[in-house]
Amino acid sequence: MSSTGNADAHALFISDLHLSESRPDITAQFIQFLGHTANHAEALYILGDLFEYWAGDDDLTDPHHHSIIQALAGLTQQGIACYLIHGNRDFLMGATFAHAARLEILPDPSMRNLYGHQVLLSHGDALCTDDVAYQAFRRQVRQPEWQRHFLQQPLAARKAQIEALRMRSEEEKNIKAESIMDVNAGAVADLLRAHGYPRIFIHGHTHRPALHQLDIDGHAIERWVLGDWYEQGSCLELRQSGCRVLRPGRNAGDRWQ
């Protein structure tokens, strides 16, 4: 998308919602967000981990998933473009999911030209290069051949394996140093160099919302880290004048400010 020259035109960025039937309040907040805030944007970018986990596109008909997919499809039907980058929890979302939700899956990372800004988008997990155990796991499960084999198993068997993996992941996260689970500064610099020093870099995954003002080889770059949706929602807005964090309103139906 190119700059529209309209000062009111904007795109929204969210990540790490971890939507799950066990937290209906957050699902309700997301559906309210789509209907009262995202509907004013030109585009919504979901930068990974929309779901607590995604076991395969044959889980589309699950009632909780269905309500979210319907709400996403409704946004596109109102003329708002919706894009998604895979997270480490939901990288098995495929073409069937994308078609049902009426959204476009973008590669990780992706460059966009938005309102005159060069913007790089990513989930962010690939930048946690000090987490050697996670990166080895990531390489394995991102292989098409591994995924093909995994998806051949019955849905219930896949879910059971993912639940077991979730428990192991939580145990390992408890003993990993906090610094290991953050992005590696050298990996960030290499990525920004390889993409020609974009003005803005937006990612999630670490659940450490912040703006980092970087200087990479003399180029000023804003690295915006999105927050998760565990306690309440988190969203970044980008327009011609730049980025700002939006906060939920006091009441459920309020537009985020």
Contact positions vs ligand LP5 (CB under 6 A): 53, 88-89, 92, 125, 128, 131, 133-134, 137, 140-141, 161-162, 165-166, 168-169, 172-173, 176, 181
Which span sits near Mn ion by CB under 5 A: 5-13, 26-34, 47-55, 183-191? 47-55
CB of 163 to Mn ion, least distance (A): 17
Number of DSSP helices (H) and strands (E) in the chain, helices first: 7, 11
Residue 46 CA to residue 58 CA, distance in Å, equals 21
Say whether residue 90 binds Mn ion (CB under 5 A): no
172 binds, among Mn ion, ligand LP5, none (CB under 5 to 8 A by kind): ligand LP5
Instruction: Report how many residues bind Mn ion under the rule CB under 5 A.
Output: 4
Among residues 44, 49, 61, the alpha carbon closest in space to that of 102 is found at: 44
86 binds, among ligand LP5, Mn ion, none (CB under 5 to 8 A by kind): none
Say whether residue 158 binds Mn ion (CB under 5 A): no
Among residues 72, 84, 70, 17, the alpha carbon closest in space to that of 39 is found at: 72
Quick note: the x/- pattern for Mn ion over 185-214, rule CB under 5 A, is: --------------------x---------
Among residues 107, 122, 145, the alpha carbon closest in space to that of 206 is found at: 122
SS3 of residue 17 by DSSP: coil
CB of 209 within 8 A of CB of 129?
Answer: no
In the chain, the largest separation of any two C-alpha atoms, in whole Å, equals: 52
SS3 of residue 224 by DSSP: strand
Of the pair 65, 205, the CB lying nearest Mn ion is at 205
CB of 193 to ligand LP5, least distance (A): 23
SS3 of residue 238 by DSSP: strand
Of the pair 61, 179, the CB lying nearest ligand LP5 is at 179
Peptide bond preceding 109 in cis form (omega within 30 of 0): yes
CB of 224 within 8 A of CB of 204?
Answer: no
CB of 109 to ligand LP5, least distance (A): 16
| Single residue of 29, 46, 49, 97 touching Mn ion by CB under 5 A | 49
Q: What is the number of the residue whose Cβ is closest to Mn ion?
A: 205
Name the token pair of 66: 């269905």
Residue owning tokens 């790490």: 16
Say whether residue 234 binds Mn ion (CB under 5 A): no
| Single residue of 56, 87, 198, 227 touching Mn ion by CB under 5 A | 87
CB of 243 within 8 A of CB of 121?
Answer: no
CB of 245 to Mn ion, least distance (A): 19
Residues near Mn ion, by CB under 5 A: 49, 87-88, 205
